[in-house]
A and B are shown apart, each in its own frame.
Chain A
Amino acid sequence: MHILVIEDESRIAKRIMRMTREFFLNTLSEITHMESLAKGLEFVTAHKVDLVLLDLNLNGESGFDLLKEAVSQSFHTIIISAYKDQAIQAFEFGVLDFVPKPFNKERLHKAFDRVMHKEDTTQRNIKFLAIKKRGEVKLIDIEHIIYIKGAGVYSELVLNNNSTFLHDKSLEKLEQLLPDRFVRIHKSYITKIEEIKTIKVSSGSKYQAELKNGEILPIGRTKYKTLKEMFK
């Protein structure tokens, strides 16, 4: 696990890092502290980062833009902020957790549990996926998404107006963020359950989902059973 802490208060940064080390122990490959998001993103270009712990008020910069910029990246984001009123928006934008200050070890570790799938993310209030297009961050309403296709470390979002966008997060990470209506039907596909018209079984135990727009997506052998259950 590669973790980056972005926090301008030195004492608090030390506290976060100490508690992070206590949780991950030897599964933690690297933990770095940066004072601003700009420096953090610079670091991300040259280093592998899985998780960012981000303060939303950094040296006078604050709020919405910082959040949008963070969630459009490939890493998962956990916000650690003094402003509890930003929590709802943060979840809508697709952060994994929001830890209000002042925090203790238990609360921070609970957030890490979510990262490690130990606890199912209860608060899946994500409304938007932030993607980067020509240097700008654009918000895509998840209601417009028909399905998402894995493309290596990226994902491809297919929208109901036939446009496609690349997202920097992997399919695994998006699956963690998206609500239950978004079902992983294959190792390379997530689709919205209400977009599936029928499930087809062809010879050789080949499973396929026909979507309402006519497209046909493969269904993974292991996923078929759960999907069938849901589809009933």
Chain B
Amino acid sequence: MNRFGIFKIVVFITSIACFISCENDFKVQAPQIRYKTGDTLNWRLKNIDDNSWSLQRENSKDAIFWARTTIRIDQHPQEDTPQGLLIYGFGAYEVYWDEVLIGRNGTPGKEHLKKGEVDRSFIIPDSLAKKGEHFLALRISQRYYPDQKRGFAFVVSSYKNLIQSPVVLTAITYIFAGAFLLTAVYFFMLYFYNKRFFPVLLFSICSFLFSVLIVVEYIKFFLPIHYSVFYIRLEIIGVLTFLIAFLIPVYFSIQFSLPKRKLLLSSYFILLLFIFFYFRGRYDHTTALLIICMWVFSIIIVGIATYKKTENAIVVLGSLLINILLYYLITYDFSLIISFTILLLSMFYVLARHIQKQREAFEHSLVETSRLKNELLKKKIQPHFLMNTLTSLIDWVEESPSKGVDFIEALAEEFDLLNQVEDKKLIPIDQEIQLCKSFLNIMRYRKEIIYSWNDEGIDPTQSIPPAILHTLVENGITHCMPDDQNEIHFHLSQESSSSYRSYRLCTVASLRNPEKPIEDGTGNTYIKARLTESYGRKWDFESYQTPEGWKNIITIYS
């Protein structure tokens, strides 16, 4: 997915959001209501004097009380379009519309059955659904949370609209929920069956939490919730929001390598905890605060990353800023979903880029391994080695056939050893020493110099990459001259501790060109590439001149 791709998706989602929020004709009315505890059926009548009634509901425990108010119908309803009344409120109640009972939500006074729901729509008889003011009386009991004075809110619209709109809205948001659930599962699998890269797991968790959040947020539209359990849903939403508000900045802090991460994240966590508990009970207010904290903290992290020119940070910052804009443009509930979707998409994008990078690095390492393997093989078939060896061999055969045979045997041993190690990344140190000795044996016939070898303190259970000591021996032969006895001596020793082991290979001889610095030739490059291949960065390679000759130290840290 390229940058334009993600912006196209963002634009698409934003336009859906606008479309839905414009389409929705949900005008909520919250008129003044007069309450009175007691139960008289006449209180449904419009023309009784309720001036003495209280504007505040008193705690009537489980007793029945009445509420009276007026509701407006702003437009003449279209013909054959039944109108409906949607009531948001706590308690079990009977609804009297213009003195006529049009429905019940539970049974007032007999609430132990917990029937009814928090939001319920009622059909208004056509004859009573004219444009203008209408009188509404409710006969209520509120046995659960009797001290909660939540009040009532109303929507009058076509009955079809009242029933259908929330379902349509839910259907659309559940598409998002499904998408994020799948994303969560996919990345969860990816985390377990691939390299355990922590941001992948975090992303999976965030996606999952978010899909659960959508499900819980919109569950009220199809699952009847009795007002006695109304707060459970809000509590769940609160906890989910808390987790998301914490995890998303954690994700960004890891993805964009925020400095002093642990300190900053723990302070942030404490801030969130404080908000969560200090504003407890003010559900929507608390979640909104948590979300604002999340935006601010995320923008700070991504802003720092953008300032440091971290890759992809600018894309994420852009989407975060769009989210802030949406926050002010669209109603809270829906803007949250849209902005989370955009946010997760941008996280998705960053993660996809990251995984792509990882895959490229992996492919590169495969290529590197086969390149090193080739290089190892090439050591013995490159013309310099092969043709010089063959020329010397011809000469030995012509001059002294029995020596020639010895030479051929030495050559056979070298190729045999090479054959054994050629496709391995690590070989036992003994085998490597064997390879060096056999190479020296060949060079003895070619150069007619006495090459001697000794090693001490070598732990035979250890292994090293193939042909790295061998390469050092080659370098020694190339760059050093024999002493007066026509000898070049090689000495290998090992030094170990619990945290490292190091191999020291000394070439005891004088240098051909002491003034000329030995550059990082192909030999040393090979050694370094092999060490990186097997030990990552946990190695060290030194090579320098000493009064005795040349010294190489390879240190491998455990």
Q: Which residues of A contact B (CB under 8 A)?
A: 8-12, 14-15, 36, 57, 59-60, 82-84, 100-104
Contact = CB atoms under 8 A, between A and B. Distances in A.
B259 interface: no
A11 B479 contact: no
10 contacts: A8-B447, A12-B388, A12-B392, A14-B395, A82-B386, A101-B390, A102-B393, A102-B394, A103-B391, A104-B394
B478 interface: yes
Contacts of A83: 383-384
Contacts of A10: 446-449
Contacts of B490: none
A105 to B, nearest CB: 9
Given A101-B390, A102-B390, A12 B383 contact: no
A9 B449 CA distance: 10
A82 B387 CA distance: 5
Contacts, number: 58
B479 A9 contact: no
A104 to B, nearest CB: 7
Contacts of B386: 82
B387 A100 contact: yes
A175 to B, nearest CB: 32
Contact of A57 (B384, B395, B449): B384
A6 to B, nearest CB: 14
A103 B447 CA distance: 17
Contacts of B388: 9, 12, 82, 101
B310 to A, nearest CB: 44
A9 B478 CA distance: 11
Contacts of A36: 512
B514 to A, nearest CB: 13
A9 B383 contact: no
Interface in B371-405: 383-384, 386-388, 390-396
A59 B512 contact: yes
Given A82-B384, A101-B383, 4 more contacts: A10-B449, A11-B446, A36-B512, A57-B384
B132 interface: no
Nearest to A14: B395
A10 B449 CA distance: 8
Interface string B135-174: 0000000000000000000000000000000000000000
Given A9-B447, A83-B383, A83-B384, A15 B478 contact: no
B383 to A, nearest CB: 4
Given A9-B392, A11-B395, A15-B395, A102 B448 contact: no
Nearest to B486: A10
Interface string B335-363: 00000000000000000000000000000
B445 interface: yes
Interface residues of B, number: 21
B390 A60 contact: no
A101 B387 CA distance: 6
Contact of A60 (B387, B447, B521): B521
B400 to A, nearest CB: 11
A104 B386 CA distance: 16
Interface of B: 383-384, 386-388, 390-396, 445-449, 478-479, 512, 521
A59 B478 contact: yes
B512 A11 contact: no
A212 to B, nearest CB: 46
A60 B479 contact: yes
A12 B521 contact: no
A101 B445 CA distance: 17
B426 to A, nearest CB: 28
A83 B521 CA distance: 19
Contacts of A14: 395
A206 B377 CA distance: 68
Contacts of B395: 11-12, 14-15
A36 B479 CA distance: 12
B484 to A, nearest CB: 16
Given A12-B395, A15-B395, A59-B479, A84 B383 contact: yes
Q: Which 5 A-B pairs have the closest CB atoms?
A: A82-B387, A102-B391, A82-B383, A101-B387, A11-B392
Nearest to B479: A60
Contacts of A102: 387, 390-391, 393-394
A10 B446 CA distance: 7
Nearest to A10: B448
Nearest to A39: B512
A101 B391 contact: yes
Contacts of B445: 11
Contact of B478 (A60, A82, A103, A104): A60
Contact of A11 (B383, B384, B396, B521): B396
Contacts of B448: 10-11
B447 to A, nearest CB: 5
Nearest to A8: B447
A36 B511 CA distance: 13
Given A36-B512, A59-B479, A59-B512, A15 B384 contact: no
Give the one of B392, B396, B449 with max A CB within 10 A: B392
A229 to B, nearest CB: 45
Contacts of B387: 82, 100-102
A56 to B, nearest CB: 10
Contacts of B447: 8-11
Contacts of A11: 391-392, 395-396, 445-448
A6 B130 CA distance: 116
B463 to A, nearest CB: 29
Nearest to B398: A15
B444 to A, nearest CB: 10
Nearest to B523: A60
A83 B384 CA distance: 7
A12 B391 CA distance: 7
A11 B442 CA distance: 12
B516 to A, nearest CB: 10
A11 B387 CA distance: 13
Contacts of A100: 387
A12 to B, nearest CB: 5
